[in-house]
């Protein structure tokens, strides 16, 4: 669909969200992935500004004197030390993953089968929060909603010391087993216990259907901006765009609700489809006053189609980039609820033993220069919140409003 130049962008760009899918994985905006088989940079003997003798002293004392030393695993001590170092940055999006956690992340970000409750988790003001339950997931069927706070998992009460990965490790489990979550719905005063039966889950990245009286309004649902590779996501996107063009429709709804992010380049690629040449889609800042602009390159294949964009609190990172770009350009109206507010991007370093470091390396900005944050997320042009009755009835007033706007 688009030019080779665009498809040949490095497929290492994912927007890191520090969101963890309880099936289980973290997603968000990723802006780079590299394999670090050479770990010489970790050689502490070459460090001139750090005295790590205390670390070695504690490690040796622990190995030699701990009462249950026979149960102690050397790799657990190392992984624990690294996790502690990373957590000292006080950045929930910067994480170190063990080989097992890395494998889960890779599988889930590719949409492969996994077992769990089907909910994306994040971190907000020291508490584990539900970013969004997946469509058709056990979590959504049980009544889990975007913005829910998880207070307890079974009998375990979460504290500010617990990370998102700690929560996930307690929530995940085999298909057919149950987990009880103590949940505080946003706006409620009293928490409730919700029992969820885990099951096998697959997550398609993009789906397309048609709505309206004459089935003449395309409904493009983008659940994430990832596949196993960036090029695979592009092929999937292109096939759906081709179908929309061939349908001769002049109207569409882009549904980004519950989309936690993915490849940064995928968000730029999608934005390019909607915009004329020369529009700013996003900006990146490296924290050193270096800013890079990403602009639309050619006439977009969807440029002449009237569009409405749906967002909610589960829309984060790459989906916020796309929604914010279309809103800033006056290209589409935004309907729904304010987005999650994730304005940083992570680079993934794959380490030699199968573990990985997800490190925040960039901040991304809206075309107008504003940085997205929890306090400054993308706000809809038309705000429509889902009520408790909507959840119970399975009603979707946000989608209904979008359809109304396109049928006037």
d(CA 232, CA 269): 13
For residue range 31-44, what is the model confidence (pLDDT) as tens digits? 556 555 444 444 44
Q: State the pLDDT confidence band at 28, using cuts at 50, 70 and 90.
A: low
d(CA 324, CA 366): 6
Q: Is 96 helix (H, G, I), strand (E, B) or coil?
A: strand
Asked whether residue 220 carries a pLDDT value surpassing 50, the answer given is yes
The per-residue pLDDT for 135 is: 74
For residue range 120-179, what is the model confidence (pLDDT) as tens digits? 888 777 889 887 787 778 998 999 988 899 999 999 999 888 878 788 888 988 899 999
Asked whether residue 19 carries a pLDDT value surpassing 50, the answer given is no
CATH dotted code for 114-201: 2.30.42.10
Asked whether residue 404 carries a pLDDT value surpassing 50, the answer given is yes
Asked whether residue 349 carries a pLDDT value surpassing 60, the answer given is yes
Question: Over the chain, what is the mean pLDDT?
Answer: 84
Percent of the chain scoring above 70 in pLDDT:
85
For residue range 60-98, what is the model confidence (pLDDT) as tens digits? 898 889 888 888 888 889 899 999 999 999 888 898 999
The per-residue pLDDT for 13 is: 45
Asked whether residue 16 carries a pLDDT value surpassing 50, the answer given is no
d(CA 276, CA 295): 10
Asked whether residue 265 carries a pLDDT value surpassing 50, the answer given is yes
The per-residue pLDDT for 354 is: 93
Asked whether residue 47 carries a pLDDT value surpassing 80, the answer given is no
Domain ranges of the chain: 114-201, 206-343+364-407
Question: Max CA-CA distance within the chain?
Answer: 76
- Tell which wins on pLDDT, 338 or 103: 338
The per-residue pLDDT for 44 is: 46
Strands (E), 170-247: 178-184, 192-197, 199-201, 206-211, 217-222
The per-residue pLDDT for 332 is: 97
3-state helix, strand, coil split of the chain in percent (to 5) is: 30, 30, 40
The per-residue pLDDT for 41 is: 42
pTM equals: 0.73
d(CA 302, CA 121): 32
The per-residue pLDDT for 173 is: 87
The per-residue pLDDT for 163 is: 79
Q: State the pLDDT confidence band at 113, using cuts at 50, 70 and 90.
A: low
For residue range 296-323, what is the model confidence (pLDDT) as tens digits? 998 899 999 999 999 998 898 899 999 9
Q: What is the DSSP string of 320-367?
A: HHHHHHHHHTTS-EEEES------EEEEEEEETTS-EEEEEEEEEE-T
Q: State the pLDDT confidence band at 289, using cuts at 50, 70 and 90.
A: confident
Query: What counts of helices (H) and strands (E) characterise the chain?
Result: 11, 23
**206-343+364-407 has CATH 3.90.226.10 classification:** yes
d(CA 360, CA 28): 11
Give how far Cα 179 sits from Cα of 92, 186, 196, 318, Å.
Answer: 24, 21, 5, 31
- Tell which wins on pLDDT, 158 or 229: 158
């Amino acid at each position: 669909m688009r030019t080779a130049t665009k498809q040949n962008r490095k497929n290492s760009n994912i927007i890191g969200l520090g969101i963890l899918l309880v099936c289980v994985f973290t997603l968000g905006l990723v802006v780079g992935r590299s394999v670090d088989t050479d770990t010489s940079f970790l050689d502490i003997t070459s460090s001139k500004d750090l005295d790590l003798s205390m670390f070695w002293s504690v490690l040796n004392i622990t190995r030699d004197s701990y009462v249950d030393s026979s149960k102690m695993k050397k790799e657990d001590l190392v992984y624990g030390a690294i996790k502690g170092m990373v957590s000292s940055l006080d950045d929930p999006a910067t994480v170190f993953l063990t080989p097992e956690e890395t494998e889960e992340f890779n599988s889930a970000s590719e949409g492969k089968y996994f077992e769990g409750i089907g909910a994306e988790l994040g971190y907000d003001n020291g508490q584990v929060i539900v970013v969004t339950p997946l469509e058709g997931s056990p979590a959504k069927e049980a009544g889990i909603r975007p913005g829910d706070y998880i207070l307890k998992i079974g009998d375990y009460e979460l504290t500010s010391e617990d990370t998102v990965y700690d929560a996930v490790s307690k929530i995940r489990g085999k298909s057919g087993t149950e987990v009880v979550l103590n949940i505080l719905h946003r706006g409620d005063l009293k928490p409730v216990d919700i029992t969820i039966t885990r099951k096998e889950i697959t997550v398609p990245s993009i789906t397309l259907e048609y709505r309206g009286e004459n089935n003449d309004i395309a409904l493009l649902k983008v659940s994430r901006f990832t596949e196993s590779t960036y090029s695979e996501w592009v092929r999937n996107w292109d096939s759906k765009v081709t179908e929309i063009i061939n349908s001769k429709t002049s109207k569409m709804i882009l549904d980004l609700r519950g989309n936690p992010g993915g490849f940064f380049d995928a968000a730029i690629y999608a934005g390019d489809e909607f915009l004329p040449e020369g529009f700013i889609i996003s900006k990146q800042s490296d924290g050193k006053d270096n800013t890079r602009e990403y602009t639309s390159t050619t006439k977009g294949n969807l440029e002449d189609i009237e569009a409405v964009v749906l967002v909610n609190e589960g829309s984060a990172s790459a989906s916020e980039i796309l929604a914010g770009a279309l809103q800033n350009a006056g290209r589409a109206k935004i309907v729904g609820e304010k987005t999650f507010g994730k304005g940083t991007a992570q680079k993934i370093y794959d380490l030699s033993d199968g573990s990985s470091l997800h490190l925040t390396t960039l901040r991304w900005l809206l075309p107008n220069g504003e940085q997205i944050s929890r306090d400054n997320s993308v706000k809809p042009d038309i705000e429509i919140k889902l009520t408790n009755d909507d959840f119970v009835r399975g009603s979707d007033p946000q989608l209904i409003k979008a359809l109304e706007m396109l049928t006037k």
